Amino acid sequence: MTTAMTFRFRFTATSFRNDRLFVARVTWDPSKKSLNRDFFPLDTTPTGRFYAHNECVFTANVGEIIETSRGRSKTREFRSFNLVAPTGYLIMVCMCDEMNDVMPVMSYLAGAGTIDHIAKGRWSFHTVTSEWKGELVTPGDTIPINTNGTPKSYKEQLQARMQSLESELSQVSALLKDKHGATVKRGRTKQGKT
């Protein structure tokens, strides 16, 4: 890979609820001689009856390959390999179903190819730009996942959800164990017989 500059990128997409969108850092696993994916946590919010809004903020170093899935049509899955350029842009290098373009990416990840093989003379790695601009991450920066306060890691998301469920469970348990037989109806308390 080229340098240790790190950039923060935001992924947003609206899709059908059934589609499984993702963002993953792709590396090469030499023991299996195949690609390895490290998935970033994705925040999915239902919007309407059939759709969902997906959002993710992730960091990546210059020279890394990021795979994204934005959904699918009846005939094609919208998955792409993207390269982090030193200009701070994520450059789409190929769609994942185009095997002639995927092979140079796999060679690059395995250490046998170069970025020039991926670019095929179409662009210069050090000056290329795209519509997907990242922001430079400085040491000590905190990296929020999104604007609504979702915790940073998937583990923290699960812990926050578990605390929320435990709180709800304790409230239900308190209602069931009420010694006075009180039940709540439409915001008023009604005393039951003991």
Indicate the SS3 state at residue 148. coil
- How much is the pLDDT for 38? 92
Q: Is 8:134 a contact under the CB 8 Å cutoff? A: yes
Give the H/E segment covering residue 113.
Answer: none
- Kindly state whether residues 129 and 55 are assigned to the same domain: yes
Closest residue by Cα to residue 10 from 72, 65, 60, 85: 60
Q: Is 128:120 a contact under the CB 8 Å cutoff? A: no
CB atoms within 10 A of CB 194: 6
- Kindly state whether residues 56 and 103 are assigned to the same domain: yes
Asked if residue 20 is part of any domain, the answer here is yes
- Kindly state whether residues 114 and 156 are assigned to the same domain: no
Residues 91, 82: Cα–Cα separation, whole Å: 5
- Kindly state whether residues 81 and 170 are assigned to the same domain: no
Indicate the SS3 state at residue 103. helix
Asked if residue 40 is part of any domain, the answer here is yes
- Kindly state whether residues 97 and 166 are assigned to the same domain: no
- Expressed as residue numbers, the domain containing 158 is 151-178
- Kindly state whether residues 159 and 128 are assigned to the same domain: no
pLDDT digits (tens, 9 = 90+) for 62-88: 999 999 988 777 777 788 999 999 999
pLDDT digits (tens, 9 = 90+) for 144-154: 444 444 444 55
Asked if residue 127 is part of any domain, the answer here is yes
- How much is the pLDDT for 169? 80
Share of the chain above pLDDT 70, in %: 78
Residues 115, 107: Cα–Cα separation, whole Å: 10
Asked if residue 191 is part of any domain, the answer here is no
Q: What is the DSSP-derived secondary structure letter of residue 11?
A: E
Longest dimension (CA), the chain: 84
Say how far residue 101 (Cα) sits from the centre of its chain. 24
- Kindly state whether residues 106 and 162 are assigned to the same domain: no
How far apart, in Å, are the Cα atoms of 99 and each of 102, 106, 151, 166, 194? 5, 10, 37, 48, 74
Q: Please give the residue that has the higher pLDDT: either 182 or 115.
A: 115
- Tell me the pTM: 0.67
How many Å from the N-terminal Cα to the C-terminal Cα in the chain? 74
Domain count for the chain, please give it: 2
